Amino acid sequence: MKDIEHIVVFTGAGISAESGLSTFRDNGGLWDKYDVYEIASPQGWTHNPELVLRFYNERLQSLLRAKPNAAHYAIASLEECFKVSVVTQNVDDLHERAGSLNVIHLHGELRKARSTVDPNLEYPMKETGIRMGELCEKGSQLRPGVVWFGEAVRNFEQACTAVESADIFLVVGTSLAVYPAASLVDMARGSAGKYIINPELTNKPREYEWIKAKAAEGVPALVKEWKQKNKKKIIK
Ligand code: OAD
């Protein structure tokens, strides 16, 4: 393997599964239990905002109870040795709580509330969530600071720039079903080391080494390997 300078880690709901947060498309996942368009689209919000707020307020309570797991911590620890960028589809803050400093959120953040008239007006989410009638400073209802289907993904250019400069691109816990996020797997350089950690995957992209493991086991093992290789390089 050539020298590693920049590691980019791309994560999905599976990395937080062992922290107790539900994924979307696994059996019993969130989109089995709820209609995605009722919960996660501008039309659903217009139709029944109370239902949408209840869903995200419940998810916020689960997030407040959850803790980062060994995979989040291992990724954060990479920063001791390498330049690291984390690109996540997750709306949780477990990467940040584990200590990762450079986290790019593509689908927004559950711990932020935002205005319904001005997407740039964001506020820290109260631990009790958002209630109907809570307004932004321009007088419009607050909504969760997450991206819904039909809305533009956040920070995508920044994510592409990071992936294009990666020496290693590690993909963890995503079904690669949602675009444009999933297209990042095609943007890593030919020379980059490419790895996927996921116990089950039906659409493995070519060129990727698939490690069939859960995140909390597979990620720390790989991180250990990279750190050991880096140590040997420094000693030489
Ligand atoms: P999915 O629910 O689509 O996929 C979760 C993936 O995690 C699956 O491939 C599982 O095999 C894998 N998985 C489950 N447990 C795991 C574990 N312990 N360790 C590692 N992998 C595990 O979630 P995402 O791919 O993140 O978007 O979904 C992408 C987007 O779809 C989400 O950001 C969300 C959703 O609709 C929006 O809400 C806009």
Torsion over CA of 156, 105, 197 and 205, rounded to 10 degrees? -20
- What CA–CA distances, in Å, run from 89 to 46, 86, 191, 231? 24, 10, 25, 31
Residue 186: predicted pLDDT: 97
Residues composing the chain: 236
E strand or H helix at 85:
strand 83-88
Between 22-26, 45-49, 60-64, 227-231, the lowest mean confidence (pLDDT) is in 227-231
Looking at residue 232, its pLDDT comes to 77
Residue 177 tokens read as 């079903």
Ligand 1 touching residue 113 (CB < 6 A): no
Closest ligand 1 atom to 200 CA:
11
* Residue found under tokens 């330049």: 83
Integer angstrom CA distances of residue 231 from 25, 159, 167, 226, 235: 39, 28, 17, 9, 6
- What is the position in ligand 1's atom list of the atom closest to the CA of 25? 2
* H/E element, 228: helix 215-235
Would the pTM of this model clear 0.85, i.e. be above it? yes
Question: What is the distance between the alpha carbons of residues 68 and 95, in angstroms, rounded to a whole number?
Answer: 7
Q: What is the pLDDT of residue 1?
A: 56
d(CA 231, CA 236): 9
Percent of the chain with pLDDT over 90: 92
Per-residue model confidence as pLDDT tens digits over 69-98: 999 999 999 999 999 999 999 999 999 999
pLDDT surpassing 90 at residue 236: no
Residue 231: pLDDT above 90? no
Assess whether the C-beta atom of 3 lies below 6 angstroms from ligand 1.
no
Q: CA angle, 181 as apex, 178 and 184 as ends, to 5°?
A: 130
Q: How much distance in Å is there from the Cα of 20 to the middle of ligand 1?
A: 13
β-bridge pairing 103-105 and 83-88: parallel
178 lines ligand 1 (CB under 6 A): yes
92, two tokens: 């949780």
Q: What is the pLDDT of residues 110-156, one digit of tens each?
A: 999 999 999 999 999 999 999 999 999 999 999 999 999 999 999 99
| Cβ–ligand 1 contact at 213 (below 6 Å) | no
Helix (H, G, I), strand (E, B), or coil: what is residue 4?
A: coil
Instruction: Give the mean pLDDT of 5-22.
Output: 97
- The pLDDT, as a whole number, for residue 233 is 75
Give yes or no for residue 46 having a pLDDT over 90: yes
Q: In this predicted structure, what is the pLDDT of residue 127?
A: 96
Q: Whose CA is nearest to atom 38 of ligand 1?
A: 148
Q: What integer pLDDT is reported at residue 43 of this predicted model?
A: 97
Res 2 pLDDT > 70: no
Q: Is the CB of 174 under 6 A from ligand 1?
A: yes
What is the residue whose two structure tokens read 């809305």?
151
Q: How far is 148 from 108, CA to CA, in rounded Å?
A: 9
> Can you tell me the mean pLDDT for 99-120?
97
For the CA of 181, the closest atom of ligand 1 is 29
